[in-house]
Amino acid sequence: MKIAITSHRAALLGIIVIGSFTLFSLLPLSGRSRAALANSEASTLRVSPTGTDASACGSEASPCRTIQYAVNKAASGDTLLVAAGSYTYQSTTDTCTFLVTRAVVCMLNKHLTILGGYSPSNWNLPDPVANPTLIDGNNSRRGVAIIAYNATASLRMEGFTIQNGLAQGASSGDDFFIDAAGGGMWSQGGALTLRNITFKNNRAIGGNTSGQYGGAGSGGGLAIHSPVNNAASLLEYVSFEGNQTLGGTGTRRGGIAYGAGLFTYGATLSANHLTFLNNLAQAGDSSGSGIDSVHGLRADALGGAAGFGKNSNASLSQVVATGNRALGGDAGTASGSVGGGAFGGAFHAEDRAVLSLQDALVQDNTLTGGKASNGGFAMGGGIMTDGGAVHLNRVRIIANIAISGSAHTVSGKAGQPGGGGVYLATFNPSISVYSTVVNSIVAGNRIELGYPGSLVGGGGAGLTIQAITADIKHSTIANNSIDEDLVVGQAISVQALYGESGIPAEVGIENSIIANHVHPSTNNTSAVSVMRTNTVNFNKGIFSGNTNDTNANSIPILPGTITGLSSMTQVEDPGFTSPGSPDYDYHLQNSSPAIDQAVSSSVNNDIDGDTRPYSTNSDIGADEYTNPFLRAQPSSFFHMVASDDVITEEVIVDVFGSPPLAWTATTSGSWLYLGSKDNTQQTSGQTGTSLSVRVKPSNVGLGAYTQTIQITAPGVDPATVTVRLIKVSKIHAILLPIVLR
């Protein structure tokens, strides 16, 4: 039941960076000055499949043929406008021959802007939808490379699909040669601004070697390594679809796979509106022990969607991560062999990295540990940290699965699974970590033991928190499950590093709901399991529908310190709207016992961004209940008339936060009527339909009039429509001259 592993990834990643600088120091540098450009529009170069690569290319009339040729011509500060088409590798324009895997587009020590979505007939307004612009590696070349060496470099790129890129590690050499990074795009030392970019079906594949370990792959879609002067990168409206990082094979262990869609190392990143869909991080296999004697590492897969390496600082918002996978590498059948671990089905952060995730959906991601005599770990079906901090705010972590590695035989040992939704830990005693989970839903996640294999331990279907300090506030943890052989922490497992003698964890759980955790076969289980030497401090919340709420009474293990249980309320039904599959709707109904029951809340909004509190006190859980409300569109209209003609307007009446219902509209006054009759000032209808409003100027004299229509329905907040009428004797039209400038 004790889950403990060794932190073992950072050393390898450091070698990637050091190796790259060692290689570049042997290379001559080249550049182009602005004076070398031949045309009169040197600051803007145009590229089109209909163009020609020539010394004078780049104008509207004579665009260049390849992006790389235009990059070679450009000086720092220049902009490239690229017309629709598919751009592939051209050896005749490649100036980055030092790369292990060549790139379709490569820039060294420059600051450029490259914009796609143009047409040779329109260089003024880009339209990437109508003019799809592709950089295609044809499964043999990297898409884009940005290199800063003894200088700075940056790239602003918008309106491209980068697809079928490949970064392939070599079969021999040091780690720089056998490892591979950034199949779609690799930035080494540079800073990026990417908007409206799709990374699709790109791969970073570590080399298959005859050495002890296979090459590592990182950043199948995009890899950002060690920007010079800590320059920050920005991503907006970027999607990662079907990208892969694959570790190579080795004699003792396979290569590590990290960050299938996105990987950062020592980088600062701000990003919004990101999509990670069906990306795969799969470590390499071996026929050996599964552990090399050089680094002491296993064939691990980390971050099926994205991985954040040493000292990275990533702030992501408006994120969707679904269908991503991390698969640990298999090892040989010899006694004592160990399968590779799988860590972070969607996101992984380690070694003093900080990941801030806000307004995100992390759903249906999967981990599977590697197969060996001793199966590999599976930790964090949605999110995992190892010596890194994570701050989750308004995040839905739904239906992720962590499946530990199986054994080769029934007599072997299955790996340990933990944190079906989230695993927050440090495995380095020298790294102190504080993480937060606020306004978040952790629901429908699951952990399973690999089969075959005997039970070693595991737990924490919703969250596992190990050897760190963490606060969980205004969150809903519900309907998470463990398979029959596991009993620890159906909702939350809190444990120390390396058992009771290691660094303990301390967790505060405030104004949160923990509900619906029922073991399939035993009562000897608890929703919240606090191992000895660890501490959980409850401060107001709700328990509901759990086999046992905590292990305070030694269920199933001797507990650590648990305080604040008297502040928790036991209820029969927390009042969720539609919990569990397929809706996973954990909004509160108006009968929920969680409404107005929070205490000492310092959280000013809820998972939807609604203001908290809505009424007297805040609500317990991730959702702040608000009354359903009617909305009328338009909510006001105005008419100036000089006749008595009847005017008819249609107002759409809808309801938010409630099933369809009947409404009633009323008004008063001598000139305003509702429905189809001239003398009706009250009518009714169904939400989703229209209200007819009739204005009769003949019933009033000259002047200005204002009237309000009230629209009401039982149990929801009303809507109003304001109608303004000005009746005049005559309307004068004044025609002004048109002045052209």
Listing DSSP states for 338-406 in one string gives BPPPEE-SSEEEETT-EEEEEEEEEES-EEEPPPBSBPPPEE-SSEEEEB-EEEEEEEEEES-EEEPPP
Using pLDDT thresholds of 50, 70 and 90, give the confidence band for residue 386.
very high
Using pLDDT thresholds of 50, 70 and 90, give the confidence band for residue 405.
very high
Residues 163-193, buried b or exposed e (16+ Cβ, 10 A)?
bbbbbbbbbebebbbbbbbbbbbbbbbbbbb
Q: Is the pLDDT of residue 527 over 80?
A: yes
Higher pLDDT, 17 or 447: 447
Alpha helices in 44-106, H assignment, sequence order: 67-73
Residue type, 319: V
Give pLDDT tens digits for 547-599: 999 999 888 888 999 999 999 999 999 999 999 999 999 999 989 999 999 99
Question: Whole-number mean pLDDT of the chain?
Answer: 91
Q: Is the pLDDT of residue 70 over 90?
A: yes
> pLDDT value at position 442?
98
Give pLDDT tens digits for 343-384: 999 999 999 999 999 999 999 999 999 999 999 999 999 999
Q: Is the pLDDT of residue 671 over 60?
A: yes
- What is the mean pLDDT of the segment spanning 7-11? 41
> pLDDT value at position 65?
98
Task: Evaluate whether 61 touches 40 at the Cβ level (below 8 Å).
Answer: no
Those residues whose C-beta lies under 8 Å from the C-beta of residue 317, and which sit 6 or more positions away, are 271, 272, 273, 357, 358, 359, 360
> pLDDT value at position 736?
54
The secondary structure of residue 220, as a DSSP letter, is S
Using pLDDT thresholds of 50, 70 and 90, give the confidence band for residue 37.
very low
> pLDDT value at position 166?
98
Range among 37-41, 68-72, 94-98 with highest mean pLDDT value: 68-72
Q: Is the pLDDT of residue 422 over 90?
A: yes
Task: Evaluate whether 22 touches 58 at the Cβ level (below 8 Å).
Answer: no
Q: Is the pLDDT of residue 260 over 80?
A: yes
The residue whose two tokens read 């001239």 is 678
Predicted structure pTM score: 0.87
Domains of the chain in sequence order: 10-39+101-419 (no CATH), 629-727 (2.60.40.10)
Give pLDDT tens digits for 594-650: 999 999 999 999 999 999 999 899 999 999 998 888 999 999 999 999 999 999 999
Q: Is the pLDDT of residue 454 over 60?
A: yes
Give pLDDT tens digits for 101-120: 999 999 999 999 999 999 99
> pLDDT value at position 733?
61
Longest dimension (CA), the chain: 100
Task: Evaluate whether 412 touches 375 at the Cβ level (below 8 Å).
Answer: yes
- What is the mean pLDDT of the segment spanning 134-151? 96
> pLDDT value at position 737?
58
Using pLDDT thresholds of 50, 70 and 90, give the confidence band for residue 38.
very low
Using pLDDT thresholds of 50, 70 and 90, give the confidence band for residue 457.
confident
